Structures are given as C-alpha cells and as structure tokens.
C-alpha cells in the first residue's frame, strides 16, 4: 500500500511539473512571436524538448502564426495543408478551415478560397457555411447572389445588428457599379457600427462606476 501511495504522489508531482514546463515553454514562444524574435522562436520550437512536451498540433499552430506574421505565403500554404490533413475534431475543422479561408480571401486567392469553401461546406455548421459563402460570393466571385437575402434580413434586425449586413450590401452594389446604393448602405453601416460602439462604451462605463 505504501508503494502504491508513493507511486501516486510521484505521478501527481510529475504531472504538475510537466504542466508547469508546458506553460513556461508556450509563454516563452509567444513572447518570441510578440517581439518578432523569429530566430529564437524557430530554434526553440524545433527543439527535441518542445516536441516532447507540446502536442504536434500546438507546434504547427504556433508555426503557422509565425509565418502569417512574416507573410511567408509558401510556408503558410504548406502548414495549412499539413494541419488540414491531420485527423481534426469538428471544432478544429471549423477553426482551421475558416482561418485558411479568411486568409486566402484577404489575398483574393481564388484557387485556395475555392478549396476551403468546399471543405467548409462539408461541415454541419449551417451558420458558418452561410457566412462563408456570402463572403466568397461577394469578395471572390463578386456576384449579387446574396443581395435579396441580406435585404430581407435587415427588416427584422435591431439597429445594432444591421451594420454587417449593410456593409456587405454596400460591397455588392459596388460590384454592380451602383455607387449610389453602395454609398447609401456604407453610410448606414457606419452609423449602426457607431451605435454599437456607443452602447458598448456605455456598458463598460456602467460596469466601472
């Protein structure tokens, strides 16, 4: 019984020690990224110690963030491919597919956005699919497929909720070269975003008083 108790105590101590080492390592790696100390970052993240302590996914995720900060597109492409080839959980698929999709949309990269919108459309998250397809239609395909649905949704929204829809509507009108309506909905979106900011500031002020 004493031996079992000692083994249990040692196990608890080891788990606590490993947890402390993991936290310390992650904190140091994040510090390197924040300070753009990339040489130190790559030296540590590729070390045997890091590979023993941190899961592969955590290492790949931090490498991906480092490459995004440095805008190394070829490395980013390779890391997204590697991450998305792994056996991901549903929540990980949502996170990385959307992260990749948004990155490639920002570059107007039609080839890669097509790849990731296809993967997103295989997920069960209907809201995510709706929003991603709208972005794809408006920013990449530049069509007006979502104009009617966005306008219909506006009718049942509170003012604080309207900003995003109005902004997307303004982009659709810009794509159609209808600059009058584009300007109209852009101004409305600015007003409603400002309203949200104002109410948020009031809540923060109220919580501090």
pLDDT tens digits, 150-174: 999 999 999 999 999 999 999 999 9
Distances (CA, A) of 164 to 46, 96, 103: 41, 23, 19
Q: What is the pLDDT of residue 208?
A: 67
* Candidate from 7-11, 119-123, 126-130 with smallest mean pLDDT: 7-11
Provide the whole-model pTM: 0.83
Q: Which of 200, 197, 166, 196 is nearest to 184 (CA)?
A: 166
Q: Which of 167, 175, 171, 168 is nearest to 192 (CA)?
A: 167
Hunting for tokens 């509170």 — which residue is that? 158
Question: pLDDT per residue over 61-89, tens digit each?
Answer: 999 999 999 999 999 999 999 999 999 99
> 178: which 2 tokens?
């209808």
> Average pLDDT of 8-27?
55
Determine the Cα–Cα distance for residues 101 and 165; give it in Å rounded to an integer: 20
> Average pLDDT of 84-107?
96
Alpha helical stretches, state H, the chain: 2-34, 38-45, 48-53, 56-70, 73-84, 90-106, 110-120, 126-135, 147-154, 162-175, 179-208
160 contact partners, CB below 8 Å, separation of at least 6: 192, 195, 196, 199
Instruction: Determine the straight-line distance between the first and last CA of the chain, rounded to whole angstroms.
Output: 58
Determine the Cα–Cα distance for residues 74 and 112; give it in Å rounded to an integer: 12
């Amino acid at each position: 019984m004493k031996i079992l108790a000692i083994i249990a105590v040692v196990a608890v101590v080891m788990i606590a020690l490993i947890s402390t080492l993991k936290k310390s390592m992650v904190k140091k790696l994040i510090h390197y990224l924040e300070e753009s100390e990339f040489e130190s970052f790559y030296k540590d993240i590729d070390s045997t110690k890091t590979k023993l302590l941190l899961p592969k996914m955590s290492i790949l995720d931090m490498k991906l963030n480092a490459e995004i900060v440095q805008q190394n597109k070829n490395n980013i492409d390779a890391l997204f491919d590697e991450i998305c080839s792994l056996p991901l959980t549903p929540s990980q698929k949502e996170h990385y597919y959307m992260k990749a999709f948004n990155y490639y949309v920002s570059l107007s990269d039609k080839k890669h956005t097509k790849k990731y919108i296809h993967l997103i459309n295989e997920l069960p998250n209907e809201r995510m699919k709706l929003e991603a397809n709208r972005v794809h239609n408006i920013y990449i395909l530049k069509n007006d497929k979502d104009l009617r649905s966005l306008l219909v949704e506006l009718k049942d929204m509170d003012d604080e909720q309207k900003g995003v829809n109005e902004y997307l509507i303004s982009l659709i009108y810009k794509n159609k070269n209808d600059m009058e309506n584009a300007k109209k909905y852009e101004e409305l979106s600015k007003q409603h975003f400002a309203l949200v900011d104002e109410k948020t500031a009031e809540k923060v002020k109220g919580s501090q008083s």
